[in-house]
Structure 1
Amino acid sequence: MFARRPAIASLPINRVRGYSGAYYNYPELPDAARWFQAWRFRQIGSTPPADAIERAIAFPNFHLHLSANWRSAHEQGSRIVAQVNDDVFEFDFAITGTGYFVDPTKRPELADFAQHIALWRDRYEPPAHQRADDLGTHPYLGSAHEYQEKVPGSAPYLKDIHVFNPAGFVSFGLPIGDVPSIRRDVPTIVSRITHDLFFTDWALHETRITSDNIAPDFDASLYAAAVWKQPVKAAVS
């Protein structure tokens, strides 16, 4: 196993902001605060479960290479040849975990309108020591995870596309789409979608909720016997 870092990340910094105050109010933080937390997480790294490490190192033929950047890799015959720092390794196969790639301009399903999507680099300029080009490609999402326009009025349909995946990390501060985000973000997205669907078709809903074309639950015969009637006075001759 090859890792770019000098040690496997073991400090779970995301966990300390899981209390209710931070969890529910995080999306309303200023851009500078959200960017710094994303940048800090990226510097420290994501922690694997300790038991996963224990299962791997239990094999006597498992070796961990730290600070091991792959400079290149190519196919040679039926083998993979990789240049790792100053060493060359050959493999029958490789399993690669390279992180999340979230730039919408590179996604084929978004290609026709990706140029209209506001990214973090369009909305926020970090201090020089916090620059991170990969974080800048994350979409700058609205409060219900919706895409926003880079230029107002250029693509109003973007508000109908809600992002519930790791592309929302910088905006919302959690592994979006993973378990920690479900309790907060799923209700928010569902609420916005139902709101938008209702008001888009308000004319139809208005007709429906003001219609008299409904059957009564009962008729007057249900309570007729209990209706008060003024007693008839006897005539005096």
Structure 2
Amino acid sequence: MKSDSSSITTSLAASPRAAGLAALEHRLAQDLEWLGGPARDWMPRRQHEGQDVLDVAIIGGGQAGLAAAVGLAQLGIRALIFDRASAGCEGPWATTARMETLRSPKELTGPAMGLPALTFRAWFEAQFGLAAWEALDKIPRLQWMDYLRWYRRVMAVDVRNDTQVVGLHPRPDGRVRLDLKTPAGASSVLARRVVLATGRDGLGGPAIPAFMQNLPRAKWAHSSHELDYGRLAGLRVGVIGAGSSAMDSAGTALEAGAHSVELLIRREDLPRVNKGKGAGVPGLTQGHWDLPDPLKWQLRHYINVANVPPPHGSTLRVSRFPNAYFNFGCPVRGLRLADDVIHVATPKADFELDFLIVATGFRVDWASRAEFSAIAPHIRTWGDRYEPQPGSEDGELSDSPDLGPVFEFQQRSEGACPGIERIHCFCYPAALSHGTVSGDIPAISDGAQRLASGLASLFYREDFETHYARLEAFAEPELFGDEWTPSPLPGSREFSPVS
């Protein structure tokens, strides 16, 4: 009988990795114990008509939702996450993302929440060793997803998968009703606070140019859509855009055997410098919220105008193919379908394509998110409160929600939607109000800690009478009355000198 040498090798290789990971998990548990974990249970339990009321419901179980849940747990606040994806597929990493590696430098601590043993580096070195870490350039995308799965497990984050939130209804009684679609059917829960950790497209969806309206859906996809790239083999593919997602989509199509890929690029050249990276200093991370409105707008508008270049590696992934074509100065002026061929008109040339990929980013689009229909008309945006200087207009910024200090939505008209401030926007559209601390890897822990501490303060204020009553009832003695003997008063003392 022939032995399966490959499975034997795999088993032997897996053992040291498992042992290293077990040792790391032991260290993490020790760190948490040394830091006084688990946190004291101080939140009063709430019920409504016999139903438990959640302290915090988090919508989205990706890296932002996980970090928010851990930040709350560190302060003794119970959070429950709802995610529509199956377990292990939260976020884009294992589904719609197509980059080979993350853009972020591998040294960033991401959602580690100040715990060295919870960093990606600790997780990686525990399994593969220091030499492998030093040889690693960027973090592979699917390996990051493996890390997040481990993160969820070791931090015991409570995630309800395959559960879609289909409605959000703030109530004037201090609760928010979440309507759920689950494998067991429709249901609802009540929560005192709701956190939207819904990612890059958290308040909308893909930005689809108007010229795509008349193209049959079978002939195109947005870069964020799920797509079997194998079906592009042998086809002439066009990619509109030149950012990260455009390069990732183009590279994936070429690797899948596309006949050719035409990159249709509006600019005359690619941006070379990532201005957002240059802005990422601790002062900005901690201080963006406190900036005056004009400076917030100035900063975010400057980064938007400068645009973020695609990563070096992602661009080389495309350009190494001889059938990849970079067409600069070619914004789409119009397109039509004739004889099953897409004819795309640009200022410099016309293109004949079989399939089109639109890599044009995301936008706030309340109409595309039915679950927000009850709150969308009442949310105050920056366009409602701030008028930029002429020449600094920016649709993305104007559409951004005007958030309070704990990432909370605010009412457009006072009294029109009581309770809307109990919904907290911890996703990318919070960037103008709070900086990039609610989605991107570099400062996600800072944002999660700010969110958690803010919610702890709000809860304490709301429950002050309960906490004060607990204070009055607190009767744990420090002294028992037998630690001393009462002394006689000075006139009745007998002096006994010490020999």
Q: Give TM class, smaller chain.
A: 0.7 to 0.9
Determine which of 362, 377, 389 is the counterpart of 1:115: 377
Aligned to 1:71: 333
Higher relative CO (Cα under 8 Å, sequence separation at least 6) belongs to 2
Contact 2:401–2:409 at 8 Å: present in 1 too? yes
Structure with greater helix percent: 1
Secondary structure of residue in 2 paired with 1:46: coil
Determine which of 42, 60, 70 is the counterpart of 2:304: 42
Compared with structure 1, are the counterparts of its residues 58 and 211 closer, same or farther at alpha carbon in structure 2 (3 Å cutoff)? same
Q: CA separation in 2, counterparts of 1:139 and 1:92?
A: 39
Secondary structure of residue in 2 paired with 1:128: coil
Query: Are 1:2 and 2:292 an aligned pair?
Result: no
Contact 1:102–1:166 at 8 Å: present in 2 too? no
Q: CA separation in 1, counterparts of 2:390 and 2:291?
A: 21
Contact 1:117–1:147 at 8 Å: present in 2 too? yes
Equivalenced residues, count: 225
Query: Are 1:33 and 2:33 an aligned pair?
Result: no
Aligned to 1:136: 398
Aligned to 1:155: 417
Q: CA separation in 2, counterparts of 1:173 and 1:197?
A: 24
Q: Deviations over 1:198-218 (max 9, x none)?
A: 433444444445446x8x79x
* Offset, 1:156: 3.5
Aligned to 1:20: 282
With 192-201 and 8-17 compared, the bigger mean Cα shift is at 192-201
Secondary structure of residue in 1 paired with 2:425: coil
1:221-232 matches, cutoff 5 A: none
Aligned to 1:231: none
**Cα RMSD after superposing both structures:** 3.0
Secondary structure of residue in 2 paired with 1:94: strand
Determine which of 454, 457, 481 is the counterpart of 1:192: 454
Compared with structure 1, are the counterparts of its residues 5 and 152 closer, same or farther at alpha carbon in structure 2 (3 Å cutoff)? same
Q: Deviations over 1:51-101 (max 9, x none)?
A: 111111111111111122123345556544433335332333232211220
Q: Deviations over 1:13-68 (max 9, x none)?
A: 12232222222111110110111111111111012211111111111111111122
Aligned to 2:44: none
Secondary structure of residue in 1 paired with 2:406: coil
Compared with structure 1, are the counterparts of its residues 48 and 171 closer, same or farther at alpha carbon in structure 2 (3 Å cutoff)? same
Compared with structure 1, are the counterparts of its residues 227 and 195 closer, same or farther at alpha carbon in structure 2 (3 Å cutoff)? closer
Q: CA separation in 2, counterparts of 1:197 and 1:76?
A: 61
1:159-174 matches, cutoff 5 A: 159-174=421-436
Contact 1:138–1:170 at 8 Å: present in 2 too? yes
Q: CA separation in 1, counterparts of 2:470 and 2:335?
A: 64
Q: Among all aligned residue pairs of Structure 1 and Structure 2, give the percentage whose two residues are the same amino acid.
A: 26
Secondary structure of residue in 1 paired with 2:266: coil
Q: CA separation in 2, counterparts of 1:169 and 1:74?
A: 37
Q: CA separation in 2, counterparts of 1:104 and 1:180?
A: 28
Structure with greater strand percent: 2
Q: CA separation in 1, counterparts of 2:309 and 2:368?
A: 28
Q: CA separation in 2, counterparts of 1:177 and 1:80?
A: 36
Q: CA separation in 1, counterparts of 2:456 and 2:303?
A: 33
Compared with structure 1, are the counterparts of its residues 106 and 150 closer, same or farther at alpha carbon in structure 2 (3 Å cutoff)? farther
Secondary structure of residue in 1 paired with 2:412: coil
Secondary structure of residue in 2 paired with 1:183: helix
Which one-letter code corresponds to 2:297 in the other structure? W
Contact 1:70–1:84 at 8 Å: present in 2 too? yes
With 96-105 and 72-81 compared, the bigger mean Cα shift is at 72-81
Q: CA separation in 1, counterparts of 2:313 and 2:355?
A: 25
Which has more radius of gyration?
1
Aligned to 1:54: 316
* Offset, 1:127: 0.9
Contact 2:437–2:444 at 8 Å: present in 1 too? no
Compared with structure 1, are the counterparts of its residues 171 and 82 closer, same or farther at alpha carbon in structure 2 (3 Å cutoff)? same
Which one-letter code corresponds to 1:52 in the other structure? S
Consecutive unaligned residues in structure 1, runs of 5 or more: 229-237
Secondary structure of residue in 1 paired with 2:429: helix
**Structure-1-length-normalised TM-score:** 0.80
Contact 1:103–1:138 at 8 Å: present in 2 too? no
Compared with structure 1, are the counterparts of its residues 157 and 105 closer, same or farther at alpha carbon in structure 2 (3 Å cutoff)? farther
Q: CA separation in 1, counterparts of 2:467 and 2:341?
A: 64
Aligned to 1:178: 440
Secondary structure of residue in 1 paired with 2:443: helix
* Offset, 1:132: 1.8
